[in-house]
Structure 1
Amino acid sequence: MTNWKYMKKDELEKQFSPSQWSHRMSADDVIKAHVTALKAGTERARGLAQTLLNVPYGDGDGEKLDVYVPSTCSLGVPLVIYLHGGYWQFLSKEESGFMAVPLVGKGVVVVAVGYDIAPKGNMDLMVSQVRRSVVSVIQQYSHISGLYLCGHSAGAHLAAMVLSTDWSQYSVRPQIKGAFLVSGIYDLLPILSTYVNEPLKMTEEVAVRNSPSQLVAQLKAASSDCDIVVAVAQNDSPEFRKQSEDYFQALQSSGLKVTLEDVPNTDHFNIIEQLVDGEYHLTQLLLKAVGKG
């Protein structure tokens, strides 16, 4: 495949337009269906779990969490933090509780994190917010048996940035046991010249310091004990697939505990939507990871 540096702008834009690659429906329809699926799943989760909505983790308006608690909540429960996708400019925590549907019944707490999407938030701010959200969760839920991260697309990027944090600058050092990075972007340089960067306004310097692919040594220092799953959809674009494969290889070469899951019969959207289903492959992997499989 051609190196992205040699692609024309329109080809690069297509590579980073996930909706163009779905085999299920048109680009516009797959996005509409995605939002509908996430909202419906979150509604279901809110009916099944005890919820604590809009819990602040900072002073900013967007710095809030939604917590989905099992009805039979004992000490020592695993907790999964979910970071939503939407290219750092769409979606919110309001439709990000769907994965609690199969998890709360198994005694797993799910936390959906809100952050300031662009243009209100810039990349440095979003990364800082998700890091602080994890610190806040640790402080509020000190009795959990294990902390796990899951992020989709832009949220997978943010989860990888959390794993790469220098925690010496924070009041606690979270011990993240597992991370599920689903259809993520780990090198931001290819999107600088695309439509994705228009609301983000990233410079090359900002993109480099917020690219997990550049921070593998920091990740090893901060999260060497974390079991990482890099998951990618069969029908993600070639560039999206390459991002996952390259990041997986970089982590593996550093001696980290990482597996690559190439999920058949999925695209960029239903690879995460299906976490609402307890029988889905990634849900089963997640349940196993948290000790509930």
Structure 2
Amino acid sequence: MGGWWDMAAEELEQQYSPSRWSPRLGPDEVIQAHLAAAAAGTQRARAGAQTSLHVPYGDGDGEKLDMYLPTDPSGTFPVLVYIHGGYWQCLSKDESGFAAPSLVSQGVGLVAVGYDIAPKGAVLVSGVYDLEPILHTYVNDALHMSREVAQRNSPLLHIAPAAPAAAACKVLVAMAQHDSPEFRRQSREYVLALRAAGWSVSMLDLAGVDHFDIVEKLSEDSYILTQVILNMTLSA
């Protein structure tokens, strides 16, 4: 029996699109129904349970959680930690408290965890995007990769067409002047492949650095790559 790598792209997309497998409604309708039900259920839970909402657990704007407590939380009680789905692109903790009423009535607390969702952008620095050449080098003496494994884990070979939800996800591919010609070739080819698939991608060829200090210099405030990363993250 084959694995996912034997599937055609259309079949693989079908397998990883849960909305296409619901017998209740069509793909678009079942998503909208789920969003509505989850949001309405969460509002009911907030109105009827003892809560502590929007509690920060990190520095990010989305790094907050909601706590739904049993009626008598004076002692210890079990807690269900709920981390919402949505393929890291949609939903939030504000649609994640719907299970609270049935739990808190039995003395079980619910913590709905929020987190920063994608797109958040990607910075790829002096990377290897096609692993197959490594099979023929000393690097593979320790890795023992087969050709199948190399192909399965090569980003260059698994570029999905950019969906509308990914339009705001900006990708930066950075390479060093003194990277090897093969590293530089791979960076250029990955950029071209991403662009061909509709991704928003740019390339940064950094002069005067090698494969190592291209990242070491991120400790410097004035370093161009540091500034680019700050611009990407702060404007997201």
The alignment's TM-score, normalised by the length of structure 2, stands at 0.52
Contact 1:82–1:112 (8 Å) recurs in 2: yes
Q: Could you say what secondary structure the match of 1:118 adopts? A: coil
Amino acid at match of 2:53: L
Structure 2 match to 1:69 = 69
Contact 1:67–1:110 (8 Å) recurs in 2: yes
Q: Could you say what secondary structure the match of 1:81 adopts? A: strand
| Unaligned ranges ≥5, structure 1 | 123-187, 203-293
Distance 1:33 1:9 in 2: 27
Amino acid at match of 1:95: E
What CA deviation, in whole Å up to 9, does each residue of 1:215-260 have, x standing for no partner?
Answer: xxxxxxxxxxxxxxxxxxxxxxxxxxxxxxxxxxxxxxxxxxxxxx
Amino acid at match of 1:26: G
**Aligned-residue offset at 1:19:** 0.7
Structure 1 match to 2:38 = 38
**Aligned-residue offset at 1:99:** 1.1
Contact 2:64–2:115 (8 Å) recurs in 1: yes
Q: Could you say what secondary structure the match of 2:107 adopts? A: coil
**CA pair 77-195 structure 1, distance change in 2 beyond 3 A:** farther
Distance 2:162 2:98 in 1: 25
Amino acid at match of 1:99: A
Contact 2:81–2:112 (8 Å) recurs in 1: yes
| Unaligned ranges ≥5, structure 2 | 123-151, 172-236
Structure 1 match to 2:132 = none
**CA pair 201-20 structure 1, distance change in 2 beyond 3 A:** farther
Aligned pairs for 1:137-156 (under 5 A) are: none
Distance 1:195 1:14 in 2: 15
| Percent identity for Structure 1 against Structure 2 | 56
Structure 1 match to 2:59 = 59
Contact 1:65–1:114 (8 Å) recurs in 2: yes
**CA pair 194-12 structure 1, distance change in 2 beyond 3 A:** farther
Distance 2:22 2:8 in 1: 22
> Relative contact order (C-alpha < 8 Å, sep 6+): which is higher?
1
What CA deviation, in whole Å up to 9, does each residue of 1:271-290 have, x standing for no partner?
Answer: xxxxxxxxxxxxxxxxxxxx
Q: Does 1:112 align with 2:112?
A: yes
Distance 1:69 1:113 in 2: 14
**CA pair 39-196 structure 1, distance change in 2 beyond 3 A:** farther
Instruction: Give aligned pairs, total.
Output: 137
Distance 1:18 1:121 in 2: 25
Aligned pairs for 1:253-292 (under 5 A) are: none
Structure 2 match to 1:15 = 15
Contact 2:121–2:170 (8 Å) recurs in 1: no
Find the structure with the greater CA-based Rg.
2
**Aligned-residue offset at 1:51:** 1.2
Runs of 4+ that moved beyond 4 A: 191-198
Structure 2 match to 1:93 = 93
Distance 1:63 1:121 in 2: 18
Contact 1:69–1:110 (8 Å) recurs in 2: yes
**Aligned-residue offset at 1:201:** 8.8
Distance 2:82 2:100 in 1: 10
Q: Could you say what secondary structure the match of 1:19 adopts? A: helix
**Aligned-residue offset at 1:3:** 2.0
Structure 1 match to 2:4 = 4
Q: Could you say what secondary structure the match of 1:80 adopts? A: strand
Distance 1:56 1:6 in 2: 44
Structure 2 match to 1:277 = none
Amino acid at match of 1:88: W
